[in-house]
Structure 1
């Protein structure tokens, strides 16, 4: 049995900063045979869809369907985290079968407890990346400020965290290329 993971990249950023786009770009460049996107929000959406007989695929998408339930999902998730801050981290690893892949891209780190959990469990192989995008760019990508969503811990919990391995602007394709090159350099130097 392989000793996986060999690399864990924790990506954080505000809504519409490009976390999913960058995560998918990295997987495409490194290869899906050894790289996997782990989404902490996926088990939240899965549990929520089962509890309320909702469409999981639509809840995982980017349209209004998800936005209609986002605030309630956040509140419910916070309640679970108060009991076990690593609950959804563990659930996401299981849900995606992550232990079978060398490289994990955790695309939606939102809280200091998320970082803490991964550092406690995989510390030596973990790197953190904060994506930033200009307000105008985020609006072009569909961002609309929503009270109760954009002003709570799920969006603001890492605003004052300053211990990032990398911080990048993600306002376009040149930025995306720089981000991918930095991550690839780290991955290839470690493997």
Structure 2
């Protein structure tokens, strides 16, 4: 059975666009006690680490360790999604598995596929805002992005490129004033009762 948050933001964006950074800023604006950041990749990475005897914590950060296993992890995740497209969505939003899912406002920081969007639209239809984080390629490169064939052209990276409409398109090119203003607009769409 699905958990019942009061409001949900679902983020998508390319590698090094700053999805986690923007998610953290949004969480701080709302309240860390009310707002939880949930990553669809967390249960994927956790199970992958267990199955392959890897360091789960290192798979969560933006280190070279994660990059070393990214392609194989993507393939493994693709196979799981073929079996059940909503598998990781259910795991990532289960309060029994992810403690952040107990909070009343969620930021799903890493939607990657149309099936992810379908799941949240179907499960939380009147509580949802979709958010695309964008950054220019040169900015992403300054953050460490380098195109890798088999990763940056894979479904896990490109499947939502033509998805629309987004409720918000957030530009994250290093202009803190603009970014802060965009985050304030996102906070305004949360019903007042959810923020109490």
Scaled to the shorter chain, the TM-score interval is over 0.9
The aligned residue for residue 30 of structure 2 is: 30
The aligned residue for residue 179 of structure 1 is: 182
The aligned residue for residue 45 of structure 2 is: 45
**Is the 8 Å Cα contact of residues 4 and 101 (structure 1) preserved in structure 2?**
no
Q: Is residue 128 of structure 1 aligned with residue 130 of structure 2?
A: yes
Displacement of 1:190 in angstroms is 6.1
Gaps of 5+ in 2: none
Name which of structure 1's ranges 178-187 and 101-110 shifts more when overlaid on structure 2.
178-187
**2:140 is matched with which residue: 132, 138, 156?**
138
Name which of structure 1's ranges 132-141 and 169-178 shifts more when overlaid on structure 2.
169-178
Q: 4+ residue runs of structure 1 moved beyond 6 angstroms?
A: none
> CA deviation digits over 1:20-66, x for unaligned, max 9?
00000111111111100000000111001000110001111111100
The aligned residue for residue 11 of structure 1 is: 11
Gaps of 5+ in 1: none
**1:110 is matched with which residue: 109, 112, 122?**
112
Displacement of 1:101 in angstroms is 1.0
Using the alignment, how far apart are the partners of 2:178 and 2:15 within structure 1? 17
Using the alignment, how far apart are the partners of 1:19 and 1:99 within structure 2? 18
> CA deviation digits over 1:87-115, x for unaligned, max 9?
00111112323442110000001111000
- Specify the SS of the correspondent of 2:110: strand
* TM-score of the aligned structures, taking structure 1 as reference length: 0.94
Displacement of 1:122 in angstroms is 0.9
Using the alignment, how far apart are the partners of 2:27 and 2:149 within structure 1? 33
How many matched pairs? Answer: 189
* TM-score of the aligned structures, taking structure 2 as reference length: 0.92
Displacement of 1:4 in angstroms is 3.3
**Is the 8 Å Cα contact of residues 9 and 106 (structure 1) preserved in structure 2?**
yes
Using the alignment, how far apart are the partners of 1:175 and 1:148 within structure 2? 33
**Is the 8 Å Cα contact of residues 132 and 168 (structure 2) preserved in structure 1?**
yes
